[in-house]
Amino acid sequence: MALLPFLSVVAEDQPLTRKPAWSVREYRGMPGLWRDGRPVTPMMFWQWKPEDYEVGQFSKAGVELFTFFGSTQHYQRPYWKQDGSVDPTFQDEQIRYMLTLAPQSFFIPRIFTTPPAWWVEANPDERLVYSVSDKRTDSRAPRISYASEKYVREGGEAFRHMVRHLLNTEAGNNMIGIHVAEGPSGEWFHWDSQYSRTPDPVASDISEPMRQRLIRYLRDKYGNDVNRLRDAWKDPALTFKSVQVPDLAQRRRTTAGAWRDPQKSRAVMDYFECHNLTAVELLDHYCRIVKEESDGKRLTMAFFGYTQDVNWPIEIDHRGIARMLRSKHLDILSAPHTYYRRRLGEDGEMRQYLGSAALHGKLFFDEGDDQTHLEKRKPRPDGRCHVETVEESQALLYREFGNTVTHGVGLWYMDLNGGWFRDPVLVDTIRRMKKWADVAMQHPRGRVSQVAVISATESEYYLGYRQSPENEISYGLYHHQMAVFHRAGAPFDWYLIDDLEAIRDKGYKVFVFLDCFYLTSPQLKAVESLRSDGRTLIWFYAPGYVSQEDLSLPRTEALTGFALEPVAEGVLQGTLNATGEAV
């Protein structure tokens, strides 16, 4: 087979005169970035706004893709004005400046959908409401509910005009697409993440827009049958119109030890399902606008689908990722790699279910925001910087590069605090990695793993909050256990349980069920179908214990083949068959 030429163009002095078409589709075994029918090496550089040194030096190093803008700039200079107009002056100025530095480069700007303060103030009934009102919530600016239909409608139109403007400027020829941003830091978390470092959740969103969205969700889930709703919520007087969003007290309450029993707590889990769905619907709405305005020729990117390794309340997480992966409007997922294991010698795990993302044709970009040694030379350095020398900085950059190129995904190097790459040695390091990234594009990019790790993101709906005695398992699995997998020496691919049937015959010899406590009947059947062809199934904690209707120890025993006994407290102990040693 002849090699397909790929694009890696060093910037020249002439501007582009035509609008290329961008797409994400398969290339050598993994989703690839394409321009006008030719693959492009997926390596970019991000900073708050284009700077002479970085754009010039990275362009000379062979990097032709750039991304920029962040949340602070959006809040200070919102493009949506109070008279209803859209003013993209700030964005236009920065984009034009970048193209004077690198006329043949390409860019994907981060454009926020968060409504400006004037709109939030003018629409108090559309605001997010927390279950808790205290000094924490009072100290922050009010935010809009993701369930607000008025926000979706009016904010969507403002965003549409912004996208249309960017496409119709001369710089639109160089625009890859839009990085669609919302929520804290643009990462599509619910606003609870502003109060995440605490065992005391603020528990959004009990606003009227969210209550109405929950009612619509319940009508759909229960077939508009109030008797089914009453039976599920165990409330004979309940009507759809009288439904209320469960508050923090209800969410904190576990009804079967560490578990929320569906027979007693169905309302809480139904809300968690709806809560996550609102973020998915909102993101899909804005991505669809980009596709409509560009006739499908520009790409959409979003921070979404992070694996659940942060020890914070469940309201914050992206647990609707299985549904988002099935969106035809979102092309690229992105996330910073784990913040817990970034020191030299640690794994720097990419926070995405990469197996499932690839299965659904989504390209992933790792955000390489590791801080170089140059941060330590500032008068007030960031305390998270943990390298001292240029050699140690290179090692971090190599790890980012190695993780992404061996997984067939993209990477952007990030200059979050400014000045991290202003060293010719680091620029040359980028040049060499870009060269080898180009070489890697000429080789098979698919994975050859024989181990599949399987996650069920809805399982935690049925457990108590993290940082409480009712949930001492989730953080350990997503942080400590995953760290062990990365040190095991065997490559693995991480999938969602929703995709298990699709990967049954992909040649995996070992299936590790990480957090599959909640399983549907079709998912149980998919697991059972793996019991052949010499496959090994590895279980953690209580696989299949939870369904929509109940908790069932016999179901777990039937699934695993183990005889189990529930205990209220204590330390799990066992015996090694080979030696008789107690563990």
Task: Check whether residue 243 and residue 303 sit in a common domain.
Answer: no
Predicted local confidence at residue 37, as pLDDT: 95
Asked if the structure places residue 13 within a domain, the reply is: no
Q: Give residue for tokens 């600016």.
A: 141
Task: Check whether residue 336 and residue 196 sit in a common domain.
Answer: yes
Asked if the structure places residue 244 within a domain, the reply is: yes
In whole angstroms, give the CA distance from residue 525 to residue 347: 34
Percentage helix, strand, coil, to 5, in the chain?
40, 15, 45
In whole angstroms, give the CA distance from residue 553 to residue 259: 13
18 confidence band (pLDDT: 50, 70, 90): confident
Residue 541, sorted as left (phi over 0), alpha (psi -120 to 50) or beta, turns out to be left
Whether the CB-CB separation of 287 and 327 falls below 8 Å is answered with: yes
Coil vs helix vs strand at 312: coil
Cis ω before 205 (30° cut-off from 0): yes
Task: Check whether residue 71 and residue 106 sit in a common domain.
Answer: yes
Name the token pair of 242.
């009288």
Q: What domain range is 497 assigned to?
A: 451-560
Beta pairing class for 492-496 and 410-414:
unpaired
Q: Determine which of 15-29, 65-79, 181-195, 260-274 has the lowest per-residue pLDDT on average.
A: 15-29
Asked if the structure places residue 55 within a domain, the reply is: yes
pLDDT at residue 521 above 70? yes
Predicted local confidence at residue 568, as pLDDT: 75
Asked if the structure places residue 47 within a domain, the reply is: yes
Asked if the structure places residue 147 within a domain, the reply is: yes
The answer for residues whose C-beta is within 8 angstroms of residue 297's C-beta and 6 or more apart is 19, 20, 21, 22
Cis ω before 284 (30° cut-off from 0): no
Residue 330, sorted as left (phi over 0), alpha (psi -120 to 50) or beta, turns out to be beta
In whole angstroms, give the CA distance from residue 183 to residue 190: 6
Q: Give residue for tokens 């620029």.
A: 427
In order, the DSSP letters of 143-188 are -B-TT-HHHHHHHHHHHHHHHHHHHHSGGGGGB-EEEEE-SGGGS-
Looking at the DSSP assignment, which residues form a beta bridge with residue 259?
A: 256, 463
Predicted local confidence at residue 139, as pLDDT: 87
Q: What value does the mean pLDDT take over residues 45-53? A: 97
Q: Decide which of 241, 264, 287 is a domain's last residue.
A: 264
pLDDT at residue 183 above 90? yes
Counted domains in the chain: 3
Residue 207 main-chain phi, psi, to 5 deg:
-70, 165
Asked if the structure places residue 571 within a domain, the reply is: no
Task: Check whether residue 27 and residue 129 sit in a common domain.
Answer: yes
Predicted local confidence at residue 15, as pLDDT: 59
Whether the CB-CB separation of 366 and 400 falls below 8 Å is answered with: yes
Predicted local confidence at residue 72, as pLDDT: 93
The answer for residues whose C-beta is within 8 angstroms of residue 76's C-beta and 6 or more apart is none
Q: Exposed e or buried b for every residue in 109-143, given b needs 16+ CB within 10 A?
A: bbbbbbbbeebbeebeebbbbbbbeeeebeeeebb
Whether the CB-CB separation of 482 and 515 falls below 8 Å is answered with: no
Residue 476 neighbours by CB distance under 10 Å: 14
Task: Check whether residue 252 and residue 382 sit in a common domain.
Answer: no
16 confidence band (pLDDT: 50, 70, 90): low
Q: Which helix (H) or strand (E) holds 521?
A: helix 521-528
Whether the CB-CB separation of 106 and 175 falls below 8 Å is answered with: yes
Predicted local confidence at residue 138, as pLDDT: 87
Predicted local confidence at residue 34, as pLDDT: 98
In whole angstroms, give the CA distance from residue 125 to residue 319: 27
Asked if the structure places residue 9 within a domain, the reply is: no
Whether the CB-CB separation of 304 and 323 falls below 8 Å is answered with: no
Task: Check whether residue 376 and residue 283 sit in a common domain.
Answer: yes
State the DSSP code for 477: I
∠ CA 392-394-400, rounded to 5°: 110
What is each CA distance from 380 to 234, 247, 375, 389, 551, in whole angstroms? 57, 42, 9, 17, 53
Least Cα distance to 218 among 242, 251, 237 occurs for: 242
Task: Check whether residue 470 and residue 361 sit in a common domain.
Answer: no
Looking at the DSSP assignment, which residues form a beta bridge with residue 537?
A: 511
Residue range 405-447, pLDDT digits in tens = 999 999 999 999 999 999 999 999 999 999 999 999 999 999 9
Task: Check whether residue 472 and residue 325 sit in a common domain.
Answer: no
Q: Give residue for tokens 């319940």.
A: 218
∠ CA 55-59-64, rounded to 5°: 100
Amino acid at 312: W
Q: What value does the mean pLDDT take over residues 546-564? A: 95
What's the CATH code of the domain at 186?
A: 3.20.20.80
Task: Check whether residue 195 and residue 312 sit in a common domain.
Answer: yes
Q: Determine which of 277-291, 464-478, 544-558 has the lowest per-residue pLDDT on average.
A: 464-478
The answer for residues whose C-beta is within 8 angstroms of residue 4's C-beta and 6 or more apart is 27, 38, 39
Residue range 115-137, pLDDT digits in tens = 999 999 999 999 999 999 888 88
In whole angstroms, give the CA distance from residue 381 to residue 192: 28
Asked if the structure places residue 445 within a domain, the reply is: no
Q: What value does the mean pLDDT take over residues 300-327? A: 96
Task: Check whether residue 379 and residue 487 sit in a common domain.
Answer: no
Task: Check whether residue 88 and residue 176 sit in a common domain.
Answer: yes
Query: What predicted TM-score, i.e. pTM, was given to this entire model?
Result: 0.94
Task: Check whether residue 424 and residue 467 sit in a common domain.
Answer: no
In whole angstroms, give the CA distance from residue 173 to residue 212: 42
What is each CA distance from 529 to 8, 451, 504, 537, in whole angstroms? 45, 17, 8, 11
* Residue 104 exposed, middle or buried by CB count within 10 Å (0-12, 13-18, 19+): middle
What's the CATH code of the domain at 504?
A: 3.40.50.880
In whole angstroms, give the CA distance from residue 549 to residue 232: 8
Whether the CB-CB separation of 434 and 368 falls below 8 Å is answered with: no
In whole angstroms, give the CA distance from residue 214 to residue 275: 8
pLDDT at residue 10 above 50? no
* Residue 91 exposed, middle or buried by CB count within 10 Å (0-12, 13-18, 19+): buried
pLDDT at residue 538 above 60? yes
Least Cα distance to 318 among 301, 339, 333 occurs for: 333
Predicted local confidence at residue 19, as pLDDT: 83
In whole angstroms, give the CA distance from residue 438 to residue 441: 5
User: How far from each other are the two terminal CA atoms of the chain, in whole angstroms?
Assistant: 54
576 confidence band (pLDDT: 50, 70, 90): low
Please give the share of the chain, as a percent, with pLDDT higher than 70. Answer: 96
